[in-house]
Amino acid sequence: MDKFHIDLTQSEVELVQRIDLRVTHRDHTEGHANYNANKEPILTLLRSLSERNAVPPQRLSYWNDPKYNVGRVKTSRKGLFERNGCTGTEIYTHPHFVPYLRYFLFGPELPDDVIAEFEAKVGNPGWVTSSDVVPIGKFARDLTRRYRLDPSDAMEEFFKLCLDMGLSLSIAESVMRSVRQIR
């Protein structure tokens, strides 16, 4: 579903085509080669996206704001890189940044049918109130089971989807916690 993909210029599309967006590789040699090949196009792409404010604000908050990083460590996702000694442009060329780049570009990584069904259940995000949280969370849990999604991945992707749909941070956190309950 291209709905949550950001609009790219032609030069940005060409840069994305040069970037290996895989998270895993066959071996260390392949991974290291991809790391070296990705450096320049990633930095150029991010510079271009930044210059035209192309990344939606909720995705930047997901990356930069500690409130959007639900868990025991109270720092932003970017801050986690910095805590581990990765600073400046090293953060954005680090292989572990690739999933964040994918989110910046393409939104949540859920099957199209899951996104469509969840959006239909939520309806107009502006009308969602705290009394809607339990049924929405239960529905996200049901979708996770029905589509046999890995709950540890699905909880984060539903969190991102809620943010991209315009739901509040507290509702997104509640949906994420609901999916996390799957055993």
pLDDT tens per residue across all 183 residues of the chain: 688 999 999 999 999 999 999 888 888 888 888 888 999 999 999 999 999 999 999 999 999 999 999 877 889 999 999 999 999 999 999 999 999 999 999 999 999 999 999 999 999 999 998 899 999 999 999 999 999 999 999 999 999 999 999 999 999 999 999 999 997
Give the DSSP letter string of 126-162: GG--GGGHHHHHHHHHHHHHHTT--HHHHHHHHHHHH
Structural domains of the chain, count: 2
Domain that holds residue 124: 112-180
Cα separation, 142 vs 144, in Å, equals 5
Which residues have CB under 8 Å from 82's CB, separation 6+?
75, 91
Reported pTM: 0.93
pLDDT value, residue 82? 95
pLDDT value, residue 183? 79
Domain boundary among 54, 80, 106: 106
Claim to verify: residue 137 and residue 164 sit in the same structural domain: yes
Claim to verify: residue 62 and residue 137 sit in the same structural domain: no
DSSP 85: T
pLDDT value, residue 42? 96
Claim to verify: residue 59 and residue 127 sit in the same structural domain: no
pLDDT value, residue 117? 97
Cα separation, 53 vs 159, in Å, equals 22
Claim to verify: residue 89 and residue 7 sit in the same structural domain: yes
Compute the C-alpha angle 117/60/73, nearest 5°. 95
